[in-house]
């Protein structure tokens, strides 16, 4: 009887999760926003085919953008939010500017040179020679946006709407973790290509600026999601990297939960990071007019509402508690039922990431059934989670413990895991020790490793308490975003729009 109840519950959940929804007239607008896995571009289905505005002026673009947003509100895809609409109008102005923008004029600025035809008209220097005639400086590049605010306020949504409407082929949208992984790979590649040093020969090579030039030659618009700095290796290179990107005319639009001045707050050696904040907010190197004060407009988007929590249309039950009777058997049956649609057999899967082997013990096609220790108990990072997200569209995560200060490393990996899964359209089913709002607990004793590191750094008292590494402040801050995203990942809309099977393509190339 118990087995029958489990199978019946599984079939009900599968019907809810995988049902082919009939698009009635009142649901068309809502589902138009969620029926694909390509961000918010499909929301245009809610727009009428005709527009009262042309696209020949900034005012027209603002009108079109605002009208598109208003139609989404009328359809019920969005809730009316004056702050969101205001930010969208500012992004519309930038969208218009970028239509014909190229940063090539900043990549190879010519040195001052003499125009031989006009030599006779040039003033002479004190030695009787002709003074060099400087070329006029190019106009300043368009300013980007740094949009920050609390979790779930619509920052990523607005950035994706903006990005989808920019008609410029030299654009790139990426999660900040993925961007920094790419930067480190490029730096490593350049270092590996250097000739071997001969005995007794010393030379220095700084690959950061050349790598930034590579990025600048490939794109003129960079959109980052979740700008955050938790790694000292990232903190040390960001100033030079972004200084070069800005000098070469790259426009940056980014979202973050923190204002610029709070980036890498209380991080190790933060004093060496502070110049980057100045680079983000103040111009360096370019001769800009006195009215151009920064490379990015800083905007706070914080209505105090977490919209992810307002979507209560659940996709069946996707978050289970360890103490629930028969829960393990239910998840086993749920995995088997989902696996029926896969053209594969159940078994382990070997992944190769940056030359390392990572094995997942139970997989079937695009579905993986993992434990928390398997994903977060091992020394895995963003590159591993990106590869998992590339190969699997549905991941079971079992036996997630209550995350205390003694599990800081695992908590950091878990937030990175969910960030990458969310950004890459992965659906999750979780089995955890406590309800989602109680999963992270700011309690527990510092680990022996932390105490040893304190001793090695010669830190104690207030100095140690201020460091994020030991206070877990960064984990608490990041986990708020994780909880918000997991709330959304349990909804019907997320499950439907993240179903890669609609495109008959489980693995991205």
Instruction: Check residue 94 and give its pLDDT.
Output: 93
Beta strand pairing status for 171-175 and 296-300?
unpaired
Q: Which of 224-233, 244-253, 330-339 has the lowest mean pLDDT?
A: 224-233
> pLDDT band for position 98 (50/70/90)?
very high
| Domains, the chain, ordered by start | 24-98 (no CATH), 140-194+205-300 (3.40.50), 307-503 (3.40.50)
DSSP 8-class letter at 183: H
- Predicted confidence (pLDDT) at residue 458 exceeds the cutoff of 50: yes
More reliable by pLDDT, 21 or 363: 363
Question: Which tens digits make up the pLDDT trace of 308-324?
Answer: 766 555 556 788 999 88
Instruction: Check residue 14 and give its pLDDT.
Output: 53
Instruction: Check residue 431 and give its pLDDT.
Output: 95
User: Residue 341 half-sphere exposure, CB side, CA atoms within 13 Å?
Assistant: 16
Residues ≥6 apart with Cβ < 8 Å to 303: 81, 83, 84, 149, 153
DSSP 8-class letter at 127: T
Which tokens sit at 71?
């139609």
- Predicted confidence (pLDDT) at residue 36 exceeds the cutoff of 50: no
Do 265 and 473 touch, CB atoms closer than 8 A?
Answer: yes
Locate all alpha helices (DSSP H) within 458-507, ordered by sequence. Answer: 461-466, 468-471, 473-489, 492-497
Instruction: Check residue 127 and give its pLDDT.
Output: 58
Q: Which long-range contacts (CB under 8 A, 24 or more apart) does 324-327 make?
A: 326/2, 326/6, 327/431
Burial of 163 (0-12, 13-18, 19+ CB in 10 A): buried
> pLDDT band for position 100 (50/70/90)?
confident
Give the residue-averaged pLDDT of 169-197: 86
Instruction: Check residue 123 and give its pLDDT.
Output: 55
More reliable by pLDDT, 232 or 490: 490
Q: Which of 181-190, 225-234, 464-473 has the lowest mean pLDDT?
A: 464-473
Which tokens sit at 480?
């708020």
- Predicted confidence (pLDDT) at residue 174 exceeds the cutoff of 70: yes
CA–CA gap between residue 301 and residue 115 (Å, rounded): 51
How many Cβ atoms from other residues are within 10 Å of residue 275's Cβ?
Answer: 15
- Predicted confidence (pLDDT) at residue 286 exceeds the cutoff of 50: no
Comparing CA positions, the residue from 362, 485, 358 lying closest to residue 425 is 485
């Amino acid at each position: 009887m118990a087995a029958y109840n489990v199978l019946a519950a599984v079939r009900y959940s599968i019907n809810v999760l995988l049902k082919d929804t009939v698009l009635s007239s009142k649901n068309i607008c809502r589902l138009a926003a969620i029926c694909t896995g390509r961000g918010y571009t499909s929301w245009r289905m809610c727009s009428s085919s005709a527009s009262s505005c042309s696209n020949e002026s900034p005012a027209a673009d603002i009108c079109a953008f605002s009208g598109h947003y208003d139609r989404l509100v009328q359809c019920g895809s969005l809730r009316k939010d004056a702050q969101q609409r205001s930010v969208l109008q500012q992004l519309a102005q930038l969208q218009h500017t970028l239509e014909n923008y190229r940063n090539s004029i900043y990549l190879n600025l010519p040195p001052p040179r003499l125009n031989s035809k006009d030599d006779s008209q040039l003033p002479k220097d004190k030695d009787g020679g002709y003074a060099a005639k400087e070329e006029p400086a190019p106009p300043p590049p368009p300013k980007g946006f740094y949009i920050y605010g609390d979790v779930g306020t619509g920052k990523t949504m607005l950035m994706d709407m903006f990005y989808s409407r920019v008609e410029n082929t030299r654009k790139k949208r990426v999660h900040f973790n993925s961007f920094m992984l790419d930067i480190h790979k490029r730096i490593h590649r350049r270092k590996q290509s250097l000739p071997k040093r001969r005995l007794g020969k010393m030379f220095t090579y700084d690959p950061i600026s050349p790598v930034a030039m590579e990025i600048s030659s490939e794109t003129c618009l960079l959109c980052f999601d979740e700008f955050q700095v938790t790694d000292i290796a990232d903190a040390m290179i960001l100033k030079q990297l972004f200084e070069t990107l800005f000098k070469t005319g790259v426009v940056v639009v980014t979202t973050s939960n923190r204002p610029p001045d709070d980036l890498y707050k209380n991080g190790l050696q933060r004093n060496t990071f502070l110049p980057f904040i100045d680079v983000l907010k103040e111009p360096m190197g370019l001769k800009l007019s006195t009215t151009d004060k920064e490379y990015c407009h800083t905007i706070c988007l914080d209505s105090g509402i977490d919209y992810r929590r307002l979507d209560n249309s659940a996709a069946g039950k996707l978050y289970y508690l360890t103490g629930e009777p028969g829960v393990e058997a239910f998840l086993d049956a749920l995995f088997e039922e989902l696996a029926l649609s896969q053209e594969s057999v159940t078994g382990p899967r070997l992944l190769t990431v940056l030359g390392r082997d990572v094995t997942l013990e139970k997989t079937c096609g695009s579905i993986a059934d993992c434990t928390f220790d398997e994903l977060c108990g091992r020394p895995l990072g963003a590159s591993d989670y990106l590869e998992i997200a590339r190969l699997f569209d549905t991941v079971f995560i079992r036996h997630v413990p209550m995350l205390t200060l003694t599990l800081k490393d695992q908590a950091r990996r878990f937030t990175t895991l969910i960030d990458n899964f969310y950004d890459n359209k992965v659906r999750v089913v979780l089995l955890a020790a406590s309800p989602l709002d109680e999963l992270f607990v700011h309690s527990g004793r510092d680990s022996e490793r932390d105490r040893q590191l304190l001793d090695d750094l010669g830190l104690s008292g207030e100095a140690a308490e201020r460091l994020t590494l030991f206070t877990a402040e960064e984990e608490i801050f990041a986990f708020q975003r994780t909880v918000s995203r997991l709330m959304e990942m349990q909804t019907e809309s997320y499950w439907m729009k993240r179903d890669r099977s609609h495109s008959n393509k489980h693995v991205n190339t």
